[in-house]
Amino acid sequence: MRSAFHDVLPSSLRRLLSKFGVDLARARRKRRLTVAMMAERVGVAKGTYARMEKGDPAVSMGAYAMALYVLGFGESFGDLVDMRSDEHGLILDEERLPKRVRIKKTPSAL
């Protein structure tokens, strides 16, 4: 039974998750690892790992992160939303800069 989460997922995101699953399977096969070997190393059941290779959004992010680590992509996972490469965030920061800075005057002590 599918959860309601699947129904609200944008189709573009579903496609990206599906592609991610295909890429995960391809990387596993390039390393000559079986589904059982990956499931054991990731710490999930074989069925769960098979769902990961289908891009199932209901699988935990931790399981996907561990799979990337096992395949040697652990470092790149940490850089996915690095603030230095967040162009949109950098633009928003620029827009929020004040036009001028005023220093509040404090009453002098008598």
Assigned domain for 110 exists? no
Assigned domain for 101 exists? no
- Structural domain of residue 55, as residue ranges? 4-96
Which residues, other chains included, contact 28 with Cβ-Cβ below 8 Å and sequence gap of 6+?
35, 38, 53, 71
Global pTM reads: 0.75
Assigned domain for 102 exists? no
Assigned domain for 66 exists? yes
Token pair for 23: 């890429």
Assigned domain for 103 exists? no
Taking only the tens place, the pLDDT of each residue in 54-102 is 999 999 999 999 999 999 998 887 788 788 888 888 888 888 888 888 8
How many domains are contained in the chain?
A: 1
The CATH number assigned to the domain holding 82 equals: 1.10.260.40
Quick one: CA dihedral 17, 22, 24, 27, positive or negative?
Answer: negative
Q: What is the dihedral of CA 2, 77, 15, 13, to 10 degrees?
A: 70
Assigned domain for 27 exists? yes
Assigned domain for 20 exists? yes
Distance separating the N- and C-terminal Cα atoms of the chain:
74
State the pLDDT at residue 109. 60
